[in-house]
Amino acid sequence: MLADPLTNKGTAFTAAERDALGLHGLLPPHVGTLDSQIARRRRVLDGMADDFHRYAFLRELQDSNEVLFHALVQADLPRLLPLVYTPTVGEGCERFSEIWRRPRGLFLSYPNRTRIADILADPALDRVKVIVVSDGERILGLGDQGAGGMGIPIGKLALYTACAGIHPAEVLPILLDVGTDNAARRDDPLYVGWRNPRIRGAEYDAFVEDFVAAVHARFPGVLLQWEDFAGKNAYDLLERYRGRLLSFNDDIQGTAATATGTLLAAIRRTGQPLTDQRIVLFGAGAAGSGIAEMLVRALIAAGLDEAAARQRIWAVDRDGLVLSDIPRLPPQQAALARDPTELAGWTMAPGRIGLLETVVNVRPTVLIGASGQMGAFGEPVIRAMAAGCERPVIFPLSNPISRAEAHPADLLAWTGGRALVGTGSPFGVAGVTQVNNVYIFPGVGLGALAAGATAVTDGMFMAAAETLGSLGDAGDGSLLPPITALRAVALRIAVAVAAQAVRDGVATMPADALAAERIAAQMWLPVYD
């Protein structure tokens, strides 16, 4: 009982429970309460020198007492969310091997590729409903972290529990350890992963296929979330498997829905319809391309045809403005490419058409960053945008803070306080919205599970985005509800997603079973039994 984090209560075991379970002597004589345990842990957190050590402390608490961990997180989400996930989880992944203590989730390594089904057969996993899986190759904006990428599935699933009420026994983090091309990780004597360059090509595809087949056989109806895979793999895996099992990619679809929902909230503030926006997207990888495609769908829903919708978006990547004459464009970028003849009247120097040139000529109303390039939204870019727009909407979304395209305080200063700003990480700047996927993915997962969905459709993500955009703001100038309301937000989104699953024909539960009170009754609360 004391060794299992799902049953351990620590000092909160009552005298009667200590009698029945033989716990006298193993615990101090004080009989505590959940509230007193929360107070004790808060004092410990207050006394720590930095957020990384707070992160490590919380990870150890989760591994020793799940109820207390989740009760502590839910008691102070604004403070604890940045410690459990972004931005602190970035350093947690970089230093994962340094703080690894005890098993949580599964490391499925390439050398064990013939044992996947046997590993998943463990009876302790019988209750699993949600899996978050990564191969650690594109962790936030930090790149390849190998086995250290396990910090991402662990953190995401903590948020599924905190926000969507998924029971901790029903979640499973998985790291597909196919090696790492990060030499610093491989050469680190503390590194806990497989010390090998990354497996790629046919061998990689076969390994993932074996994993998916084993998951499908072991966990019928499980929700699988792909997380932090590199761009091409992210798109390929999503398209290959979204029809075979209930799955989605949060970097592509969750980020897109969160950004779209926040933009819908922003244009309500400006009073300018979506169809009048001129959108420049900086960074056309998995996240950026996903945002663009959802914005296209939103523009179509607002009344434009597809060609006109695509004309409202300009994508800029590492090689500059994405143009149709650039050779070997990946499919997701080819769909965003502009015809070079459109640039005939542009003012620009010869050569590469960068972000500044694009902003000067397009005069965008919306600027979204998903590039991982710190400082890319420099003062000349922002002042050029502000010169052509009364209320510029600027979202530097890259995580962690060290990869953000701009500091929000600078954006406000350079626009004379006129900008509506949303960031991927929390900066603590008044009136700035954190455009965090936690507003979307827990509700999408909860709604899909409640509906017994057989697939997660694009329509379900659009329903989530529209719901988020319709919710009230925090009352402090930001665009979205406060972090303290995340559980209520997840429920509202779950209801909308479940209803959309019925409309899309992928729900196995009847519509009358998907009312808000029915879904809310499925949400677990961290209290001792």
Query: Residue 469, exposed/middle/buried by CB under 10 A (0-12, 13-18, 19+)?
Result: buried
- Selecting among 55, 156, 160, 191, the annotated active-site residue is 156
493 vs 507: CA distance, rounded Å: 16
Structure tokens, 163: 């926000």
251 vs 67: CA distance, rounded Å: 29
Residue 350 DSSP class: S
CA 329 to chain centre: 26
**Cβ-count burial 330-346 (b if 16+ within 10 Å, e if not):** eebbebbbbeeeeeeee
Interstrand relation of 320-321 and 313-317 (parallel, antiparallel or unpaired): antiparallel
CB 184 within 8 A of CB 97: no
249 phi, psi to nearest 5 deg: -110, 115
Bridge partner residues of 176 (DSSP): 108
156 among known catalytic residues: yes
434 vs 420: CA distance, rounded Å: 11
439 among known catalytic residues: no
- Selecting among 55, 85, 235, 241, the annotated active-site residue is 85
372 vs 402: CA distance, rounded Å: 9
What is the four-CA torsion angle of 384, 385, 390, 395, rounded to 10 degrees?
-150
522 vs 30: CA distance, rounded Å: 34
Q: Write the DSSP assignment of 29-91 as a string of letters.
A: S----HHHHHHHHHHHHHT-SSHHHHHHHHHHHHHH-HHHHHHHHHHTHHHHHHHHSTTHHHH
Q: Which amino acid is at 15?
A: A
Catalytic residues: 85, 156
